[in-house]
Each structure stands twice: as C-alpha cells, then as structure tokens.
Chain A
Amino acid sequence: MEKITCVFRRSTEGRLALLFAADLLKRLELKVLTVYLEEGRADAGRICSDERPVAQLLAEQNAQVVAAVASITGLTPEQIVLTASDTTGIIVDHSMAFERAELDVLSPSREKALLIRGKGPLLVPFGDSLSALHAANIAIELAAKLVLPVVFYHTTWKDESLASAQPEDHMCAEAKQVAEALKTSATASGVQHSFVVETADDVAEGILQCSLRLGVRMIVMPRSAKTTIGCYVNQALAKSPVPLLAVAAKSGRQP
C-alpha cells in the first residue's frame, strides 16, 4: 500500500474518511495524502468574472480545500496533494465503496481511525476462487506493517452426504486449495494468522459476525469478477460497522 487517496466531501462521512485516511497515512509512514477533488472547470466558468478568472477560482478552491483538509486531519499543507484524475492506490471513502467496483476502496464505516479501539486482526474472507489471493496479499502487507494478525474466513454450505460436524470437512476442493495458498503466503511473510471455517446461514452476516466476535479492525474483501447479482462485498458494506476494504477484481468489472 503505497498511496492513500481520500475524496473531499463536506459531510460527516467525508470528515471521518479524512481522519481515517490521515491516521492510516501516519501508521504506514507515508509522506502525502492524496485528496481527490473534481476540478469543476465548467462550474467555475459560470461564476467567473474579469477580477476572478477561471484559473483564479480553481486556485482559490484548491487552497480552500487544502486548508479544510489540513484543519480536519492535522496534516501540513505540504502533506496534502490534490488530484482530479488519479485513482490508483487505496481510496478511503464511504460512497465510492458502493459506486466504484473497479477501484480498491476502503470504507471506514464511520470509524475515526483504524486502531482507535485497540489492536485487532484483519479479516480476509475467501471462497473457492483465486480472487482472495490478491486481497490477502494486500491484507498481509498491511498486517506486516502494522504488526497485526490476519484471520482467513471461509463459510461453506453443508455437504449433506457427509456426517461430519466439522465445517472444514464440508469445504470443497477448490476452497481447500485457496486456503492452502493463503497459508503459504501468510507463512512466507511471517504474519501471525489463523483460519475460521463455518457453515453460516448467510455469507455476509457470517463475515460480519465473525469480525465482531474476534474484534477485527478491518475486513479486506475481494470483489468477484464473475458475480452479477448478490455481491457479498456490497451486502457486507451495507451493514458493516467494521472498516471494509473492497478490493477490485483483477480482471473483469462488476456492476
């Protein structure tokens, strides 16, 4: 995670997202916070005058926004960079998490900072697809920098042909392979990790309930390129009190 971007919004959620992003920036020892701000050149054209041409209005807007961000976050103006187009890195924002499935968006879920309630693990849900590996790598990198453990979570349907009460026994072969790959990756990075396997009734609720039971501080959830209806990420985002990083699918796009 080398770049953190936050969207400027004059609202409570916008202010909380800025606080969360600034805290994450400090914890990850990054130098600058990128603030996404639509330029609004057309709007500037509607209120410009001879005394205040468009370029001056845009410059004044940028200065106002930088001052507002600095006042909210405590960062210096030099630590704040505005962008109107660059959406690389992780974007911290409440609304974009729902609206922009093609980006990696971290919804702070109205929390002011990642570890404001003390240390806790990061949770990576996984299914039977390799999409979890990319999300897991982001989580493992974060966990290594923040010295936090990672919990890999899987919930499966019961295989009625099996008598076993152990949820692990009901995992399909593909999910077991993904679990093995996750284990290898976490072990190689030296991050403390564990697995929780359940047969929860509802996948999104299972993820959230496990997070709340374990005091998870962030859920890192991969989007699936194949899902067309019933995206688990959006379901979890809609009701999660825990910050959730929705990782874009590596190929393909979601609605």
Chain B
Amino acid sequence: MKAIMSRLQTLAASPFAVMWMVVGMYAVKAILKIGIGQHINSPMIAGDGFHNLADILEALAVLLVIWISKRPSSDDYPFGKKNVEFFTSLAIGAVLLVMSFNFALQSLSGLLAIFPDIDAAVRGFLPLPEHHPLVMDGGTFPYVVALALGSVIASFLVSRHQKRVGKASGHASMIADGEETAGDGIIELITLLGVLGEYFFHAPWLEYPLGLLVAGVIAHTGWELFMSGFRVLLQHSIGAEHEAEIRSRCLNMAGVQDLAAVKTFQIGSTAVCMITVVTEHNTSTIAQIKYGLEQSLIEYLLQSDFKECELHLKFQKPEPNRHRVAFAVISKDNHLVVAADVEQASHIIICDVEHDDIVRSKQEPKPLAAELSQFLKRKRVTRFYLFHPQPQAVEGVEVATAPSFQAQLVGLNPRTR
C-alpha cells in the first residue's frame, strides 16, 4: 500500500503525468460539452467544447516543450534549450488575449440583445457576433448544471496543481498552461451563472456584465504571460528589485569596494548574473570574496522562484589614479631622510603613485638648482615634498610639506609584503 501511495505521489509531482491528466480532463470536457451542447441546442456550451479540443492540442504542445527543455546542454546550446518554454508563455499569453477579446464581444452582444433598438444601432457600424440565447428545459437543466459545475471544479483543481508542479519543477510553460486552465474555469463559472440565472430568475443577462469583467481579468493574465515570455526571450533583466538586492548583498560583502557592472537575465528558470566587482584585494583574498558572494547570491536567487542560477563574477581593481610625486632626500650609506630644503638634499626620489601608494621609486642625482624645475616637469612630477613648514617654491610644480622626515613613514621604503 505504501509503495502504491509513494508511486502515486511521484506521478502527481511529475510534469509529464500532470500534463497527460490535463489532456484527459479536456478530452472528457470536450466530449460532454459538444454532446450536451448539441442536444440542448446551445452553441455557447458546444462552442466551449470545441475550444477544449484546442486546449488538448495546447496541452500536447506543452508536453513537447517540456520534453525539449529537459534535453541536456550541448556545445551548440551551452544553456540547454530551457528558453523554449517561454515560446509557450508567449503563445498562451496571445491565445488568452484573443480568448478574452472574443469573450468580451460575446458578452457585449448578449448585453445588447436585451435592448433590441440599441443592438440594431450598434450592429449598424460594429460587426458583433450573433447572439445565441440558451435553450434549455427542466429535463436537461440538471445535466447542464452538473456539466458546468464539474467543469469549473475540475478546471480550478487541475490549474492549481499544474501551477504548483510547474513552479516546483521550474517549467514556465506548465505554469502558463495552468493560468490558461484557470481562465477556462472562470469562463465556465460565468456560463454556470448564466444557466442558473435563466433557470431560477429568468435573468440570463446576469452573465454578460460578469463576462465583461472576467474578459478583463483574462486579458490581464494573458498580457502578463505574453510579457514574461517576451522579456525572457529578449533577455530582459531579472527585475529591478532582484538587481537591487543583488547589489545590496554584494556591497555588504567584506572586501567589495564597488560594483562596476551588474547584468542579469533569465534562461528557462535559471537566473544568470554577470557581475564586475571592484576590489583592491589580492588574488588569494579575492578567492574568499568570490566564495562569500556566491554563497549569498545563490541563497537569495534560489529563494526567489529561480530553480538554478549561474554566476559570472569578474574582479577588477579600482582606477589607479596614476601620478608622480618627488621627494628631496639625503641619501647616505643606504639610508634615506627627507631633506628640509633643496640645498640640503643629495638626491631627488621620483615616485610613481597608484591608489595613493608609492608603487615604484627611482633615486636621481639632484640637478643644478636652476634646472630643478625643468627636471621635475620633464619627469611629470605633480607634487614635490620637503620637510619644512614653509617649503621653498619651485616654478611650475606644487611644493608640499612631508608629514615626516623619516623615509619609511612617508612610504619611501619598500613594503614588506
């Protein structure tokens, strides 16, 4: 018994089994609706049955799409073929938009039929579909109600299960088809209201204003599905909110100075993030930062309805702000001291500065006093340091007071690591 239950649970969670169940549901609905619709001369019910035949084809298409999306990735398709799912979203979204438009027209034509004069006037310039009133008697009423009610319940239950399994297995096409099934259920509910309204209150018009409202709801769902497919297929970002959270998580990670770029898009249910991180750290520390970022971003993305994620992290140093400075120094016995004035100095040390650190320095013999300005300009020095509260000026170069006369304190000694 346990084994049977376990097998049933596995089947209920299988996208293929669920979609075959959907095919079965639509087949039963189509047979019953076309049969009863023709029996009671109801083009509305029979028409809905034919619509269910189209739903069977759609469900079979979703089955094919799920099978294709599950194909492994290859050299030609490194991300697999998961995006095929979003063609279905695009198609089902478009179908729902058309369906809502037709339903709105039918409801409008039903409403206008109550007012023959207005109906005739409107039909004079707007080609509305022909209105078919429901033909029903006491004998057929229970069958019609049972069919409509059963269809509504089946549609809602199956739609819910489809969307749940679709989300769990990461099949956007299944979720889209689930939305379409729910749309069918709402239309069936309105039909049921019409049937009940006519039978109990002789007021079949009740279904028409409701029908217009429902057409709006279905159009909204159709538009959302269409746009979700459109966004993914055109590699729209995964959304401003997600990107803001990704930025926030990156900037909260120790070692991250800034983000030069954040690009995201979606392939199937996989979120792809390409992030360029700005950091001054060295390679071995970057490996740790990368680990931290991956952990944090994967945790977030998998909690946000994505089934998988691919992170491409690139690290770059900040702009080095390269420039040159120079120090007047006394160099004796391999020992440096920053000089108080140019006369006292024996050498000039030219320093390449990156990220505010001296990364390279070269000790040059002091030029003649008259040539110092030209020498510093030729070396492209922007600032010249002396240890004096009022250092003597040098033409064309900014002269500044060094904070100390000790070479190691002003960064002139090589770094120990």
Contacts and interface: CB of A to CB of B under 8 A. Distances in A.
B291 A209 contact: yes
B288 A241 contact: yes
B291 A10 contact: no
B330 interface: yes
Interface stretch (A22-30, A57-65, A145-153): A57-65
Contacts of B133: none
A212 B254 contact: yes
Contacts of B410: 10
A47 B336 CA distance: 11
B368 interface: no
A70 to B, nearest CB: 12
Contact of B340 (A52, A109, A111): A52
B417 to A, nearest CB: 6
Interface residues of B, number: 44
A98 B415 CA distance: 12
Contacts of B404: 8, 10, 37, 40, 61, 64-65
Contact of A47 (B254, B344, B411): B344
Interface string A61-87: 100110110000000000000000000
Nearest to B294: A212
B396 interface: no
Contact of B284 (A47, A57, A61, A239): A239
A117 B387 contact: no
A43 B337 contact: yes
A240 B410 CA distance: 26
A49 interface: yes
Interface string B127-156: 000000000000000000000000000000
B253 interface: yes
A212 B356 contact: no
Interface in B188-245: none
A215 B252 contact: yes
A55 interface: no
Contact of A117 (B254, B287, B289, B344): B254
A195 B394 CA distance: 63
Contact of A109 (B254, B403, B406): B254
Contacts of B281: 110, 241
Given A11-B357, A209-B288, A239-B285, A95 B406 contact: no
Interface in B328-364: 330, 332, 337-340, 344, 355-358
Given A9-B409, A61-B404, A118 B389 contact: no
5 contacts: A12-B356, A43-B405, A43-B407, A95-B416, A109-B285
Given A47-B387, A211-B254, A213-B296, 4 more contacts: A11-B357, A44-B405, A241-B254, A241-B292
B295 interface: yes
A153 to B, nearest CB: 15
Interface string B268-288: 000000000001110011011
B234 to A, nearest CB: 35
Closest 9 CB pairs of A and B: A241-B255, A212-B292, A239-B284, A40-B406, A241-B254, A64-B403, A117-B252, A242-B254, A43-B337
B13 interface: no
B255 A11 contact: no
Contacts of A57: 340, 387, 405
A3 B77 CA distance: 61
A38 B411 CA distance: 14
A99 B255 CA distance: 22
A118 B411 contact: no
B252 A240 contact: no
B404 to A, nearest CB: 5
A213 B294 CA distance: 9
Nearest to B355: A12
A9 B401 CA distance: 15
A211 to B, nearest CB: 8
Contacts of A68: 403
B280 A12 contact: yes
Nearest to B356: A12
A172 interface: no
Interface string A213-245: 101010000000000000000000011111100
B416 A213 contact: no
A205 B292 CA distance: 12
Interface string A181-221: 00000000000000000000000010011011101010000
A238 B285 CA distance: 7
A100 to B, nearest CB: 12
Contacts of B402: 64
A43 B281 CA distance: 34
B251 interface: yes
Contacts of A118: 252
